Amino acid sequence: MNAFQQLGHNALTMFQRLGRANLFLLAVLAGVPSLVMRLRLLIQQLYSVGVLSLVIIVVAGFFVGMVLGLQGYNILVDFGSEQSLGMMVALSLVRELGPVFSALLFAGRAGSALTAEIGLMKATEQLSGMEMMAVDPLKRVVAPRFVAGVLSMPLLAAIFSAVGVMGGYFVGVGLLGVDEGAFWSQMRSNVDFHDDIMNGVIKSVVFGTVVTWIAVFEGYDAVPTSEGVSRATTRTVIYSSLAVLGLNFILTALMFGEE
């Protein structure tokens, strides 16, 4: 009986939070237009959310690209089609690995930082203080961070894919001796702007929105103690990673399922 009660309680809590998260998103979106007046805040956040995530994105992208080059070569060479390596590397990155990997890294780097920052502002009464100064923290604090996350994610994913292609090129052409001309021309003729690149961009916009939404909500909704903030940070990383992987499957099925 008790376990049953617990189950019901957990379900209710979950739906309550989900409802709060949705209302929160609406309130944040309502605050977005006022950002036009505060571009400086947005630029600051673009820097701390986007630019500061660049290093990890570039390094990870290069390594993922190199592994793709290596594994791709080993598989393709058995069929004598190692010239298609460029296409294989580019398609895997643009369609799947670029958006997914960079969203996971983004959740770990920028998402957790956003949650911790907003959670600590709540714990130290900074958000309350702003409200008492008649400044809406949703507009002043949350909205610029949210928009910065949504804008940064597709750019980071694009950079990840581009650097990944370089990594694949470095291993495939530089080390394993794939023909350079074939590498690039196969890539150019088989990667479609609309079907592949735009779908990848759509994915990364969706991931960016979801990850940033989870991150700012968890921070804003955190229990205002050091323990509460640390829990919220952990939850951000877990929920946003799972959300990215789950949504990626759905999006892939919708975009590429009919071929």
Q: Which residues bind another protein (CB under 8 A)?
A: 121, 124-126, 128-136, 140
Which of 172, 194, 176 is CA-nearest to residue 87? Answer: 172
Cβ closest to another protein, residue 145 vs residue 203: 145
C-alpha–C-alpha distance, residues 210 and 51, integer Å: 19
User: If 0-12 CB within 10 Å is exposed, 13-18 middle and 19+ buried, where does residue 90 land?
Assistant: buried
Minimum separation from the CB atom of position 198 to another protein (A): 37
Contact 167, 97 (CB under 8 A): no
Cβ closest to another protein, residue 95 vs residue 140: 140
Token code pair at residue 200: 């990848």
Cβ closest to another protein, residue 126 vs residue 252: 126
Cβ closest to another protein, residue 10 vs residue 124: 124
Minimum separation from the CB atom of position 118 to another protein (A): 12
Contact 137, 92 (CB under 8 A): no
Cβ closest to another protein, residue 81 vs residue 126: 126
C-alpha–C-alpha distance, residues 119 and 229, integer Å: 5
Contact 32, 143 (CB under 8 A): yes
Minimum separation from the CB atom of position 252 to another protein (A): 39
Contact 222, 229 (CB under 8 A): yes
- Cα torsion 215, 123, 19, 24 to 10°: value is -70
Cβ closest to another protein, residue 26 vs residue 134: 134
Token code pair at residue 33: 């237009």
Cβ closest to another protein, residue 1 vs residue 134: 134
Minimum separation from the CB atom of position 127 to another protein (A): 9
Minimum separation from the CB atom of position 125 to another protein (A): 4
Three-state DSSP state, 1 = coil
In sequence order, the 6+-apart residues with CB closer than 8 A to the CB of 92 are 68
Minimum separation from the CB atom of position 195 to another protein (A): 43
Contact 197, 191 (CB under 8 A): yes
Minimum separation from the CB atom of position 110 to another protein (A): 16
